[in-house]
Amino acid sequence: MKRLDQVLANDGVGAELELVIKDVMVACKDIAYKLAQGELAGILGATEDENVQGETQKKLDVISNDLLKDILIANPYVRGIGSEEEDYTVAGNAGGKYLVTFDPLDGSSNIDVNLSVGTIFSVLEAQDDQSGDNQEVFLQNGRKQVAAGYVLYGPSALLVMTTGNGVNFFTLDRNIGEFVLTKSNIQIPEDTAEFAINMSNQRFWEPEMKQYIDDCLAGEEGPLGKRYNMRWVASMVAEVHRILVRGGIFMYPYDSRDPSKAGKLRLMYEGNPMSMIVEQAGGASSTGRIDIMDVEPKGIHDRVPVVLGSKNEVAKVVAYHSK
Ligand code: AHG
Ligand code: MN
Ligand code: MN
C-alpha cells in the first residue's frame, strides 16, 4: 500500500509542493465527509447569493470554497488562490512560490439529487514577486501547471492527479483518513465510440460541432462508420473520470446562448487542469481549434470551449473545425 505522500516523494515532488497538495487534500477529505453525511450535515440546498459567473451558489459551493481557501492562504508556500466562487484572487503568503486555482465543487447541480460531484485544482508557480491578490500573476497558460488533479466524490472518493509524471488514482481509505494509490500510469484508449455533450444546446452550436454530432448520430451508415453511445452526467469530473477509465470524448463547445462568453467551462479551474490530466494519460484536449493548454488567459475567470478525451476522436473533431 502506498500513500499519496509516498507516491509524490517517489516522483521527486519537492516538500513545498507536497505540502500544498496535502492541504488541498485536507479540505477535500472534509468535503468528502460532509457529502457522505448529506442532509444530516445540513449541507444541501442553495444560498441566496450568486457567484461572479452569475450562477446561484449552492450551500456546498460556499462551504467547499471556504475550506479550500482558508487552509491554502494559511499555507506558507501559497502566494495566492483563484477560485470559481471568488470574485477576485486572494493573497496568501508573500513569500510563497505556488498559486492554486480551483473549482471547489464541480457539477454542483448534482448535489441535491445525490449524484457525483467533484473538486478540481491546478497549481502554478508564481513567476515574479507580485502579490497573490493581483490576478496578473495567475495569467499563465496551462503548460505552466506543475500539478493538476480532481477528487471525485462518488460511491468512493477518488483523487486523480498528475505532477507531470503520468496519472494516478488514489482511493480515500476512510479507516485511516488517507488517499492510497489504487491505480497507476493511467492510459486513455486512443479510440472510442462514446460521446458526452449536452444535446439540448444543439441549436446554439457552431456548424462544425453540429456536423460532427450529426455524423455520430448517423452511426454505421454515416461518414464516421460506427455506432456511438452517449452519456451526460452534468459533472465534468465524473465525465473525465469515465473517459480515463474506458475512453470517450467530452465536449462543452462554444454556443451562442451568450455570445460574449467563449464557452461555459472555465479555463483556469476546469479546462487547464483537466487538459493536463488527459494529456498526461495519453489523451488530447482542444478548443476545437487549438490545444486548451496553449490558450493564453486574459482574466482569471476566462471561459473556454472544451473538447477532450480519446486522442483519435479529438483529432476528428479538430479536423471538422479546420475544414
Ligand atoms: P459547476 O458546477 O462548477 O458550475 O460546473 C458545472 C459544469 C460541468 O461540470 C458540467 O459538465 C457542466 O457544467 C454541466 O452543464 P449543463 O448544466 O449544461 O448540463
Ligand atoms: Mn465546474
Ligand atoms: Mn463549481
Q: CATH number for the domain including 263?
A: 3.40.190.80
DSSP state of 230: E
Distance from Cα 319 to the centre of ligand 3, integer Å? 31
For residue range 127-148, what is the model confidence (pLDDT) as tens digits? 989 999 999 999 999 999 999 9
In this structure, the number of other CB atoms found within 10 A of the CB of residue 36 comes to 12
CATH number at residue 138: 3.30.540.10
pTM for this model (two decimals): 0.98
Question: Does 20 reside within a domain?
Answer: yes
Distance from Cα 104 to the centre of ligand 3, integer Å? 6
Question: Does 137 reside within a domain?
Answer: yes
Domain boundary among 149, 183, 217: 183
Considering the domain architecture, whether residues 60 and 134 belong to the same structural domain is answered as yes
| % of the chain surpassing 90 pLDDT | 94
- 96 to 9, 80, 145: CA distances (angstroms): 20, 8, 16
For residue range 109-132, what is the model confidence (pLDDT) as tens digits? 999 999 999 999 999 999 989 999
Considering the domain architecture, whether residues 156 and 234 belong to the same structural domain is answered as no
Mean pLDDT of the chain: 97
Question: Does 189 reside within a domain?
Answer: no
Structural domain count, the chain: 2
Distance from Cα 104 to the centre of ligand 2, integer Å? 8
pLDDT at 10: 94
Across the range 71-79, mean pLDDT stands at: 98
* C-alpha cell recorded at residue 273: 487542469
Considering the domain architecture, whether residues 179 and 297 belong to the same structural domain is answered as no
Residue 55 has pLDDT above 90, yes or no: no
As a whole number of angstroms, the distance between CA 104 and CA 100 comes to 11
Domain that holds residue 20: 4-183
Among 49-63, 147-161, 301-315, name the one with the lowest average pLDDT.
49-63
Considering the domain architecture, whether residues 91 and 209 belong to the same structural domain is answered as no
Considering the domain architecture, whether residues 26 and 117 belong to the same structural domain is answered as yes
Question: Per DSSP, which regions of 163-300 are E strands?
Answer: 168-173, 178-183, 194-196, 229-230, 249-252, 284-286
Considering the domain architecture, whether residues 168 and 54 belong to the same structural domain is answered as yes
Residue 111 DSSP SS3: helix
Distance from Cα 105 to the centre of ligand 1, integer Å? 10
Q: CB–CB of 153/239 below 8 Å?
A: no
Task: Name the residue at shortest CA distance from atom 7 of ligand 1.
Answer: 107
Q: Show binding-site residues.
A: 84, 103, 105-109, 198, 264, 270
Specify the ligand 1 atom closest to the Cα of 232. Answer: 19
* C-alpha cell recorded at residue 147: 500539478
Which of 198, 241, 249, 251 best tests ligand 1's pocket when mutated (most atoms within 8 Å of CB)? 198
Q: CB–CB of 292/148 below 8 Å?
A: no
Q: CB–CB of 272/114 below 8 Å?
A: no
Closest CA to 236 of 205, 264, 208, 203: 264
DSSP state of 39: G
pLDDT at 240: 98
As a whole number of angstroms, the distance between CA 158 and CA 151 comes to 5
Q: If residue 194 lies in a helix (H) or strand (E), which one and from where to where?
A: strand 194-196
Specify the ligand 1 atom closest to the Cα of 55. Answer: 4
pLDDT at 223: 98
Domain boundary among 134, 163, 183: 183
Question: Does 188 reside within a domain?
Answer: no
Ligand 1 close to Cβ of residue 6 (< 6 A): no
Specify the ligand 1 atom closest to the Cα of 239. Answer: 11
Ligand 1 close to Cβ of residue 103 (< 6 A): yes
Name residues with Cβ closer than 5 Å to ligand 2, which is an ion: 103, 106
Across the range 172-193, mean pLDDT stands at: 97
Considering the domain architecture, whether residues 209 and 307 belong to the same structural domain is answered as yes
For residue range 197-247, what is the model confidence (pLDDT) as tens digits? 999 999 999 999 999 999 999 999 999 999 999 999 999 999 999 999 999
Ligand 1 close to Cβ of residue 236 (< 6 A): yes
Considering the domain architecture, whether residues 28 and 109 belong to the same structural domain is answered as yes
pLDDT at 163: 98
Considering the domain architecture, whether residues 10 and 86 belong to the same structural domain is answered as yes
Considering the domain architecture, whether residues 138 and 83 belong to the same structural domain is answered as yes
Considering the domain architecture, whether residues 130 and 200 belong to the same structural domain is answered as no
pLDDT at 8: 97
Distance from Cα 96 to the centre of ligand 1, integer Å? 32
Task: Name the residue at shortest CA distance from atom 3 of ligand 1.
Answer: 106
For the chain, give me the number of helices (H) and strands (E)? 7, 15
Considering the domain architecture, whether residues 11 and 76 belong to the same structural domain is answered as yes
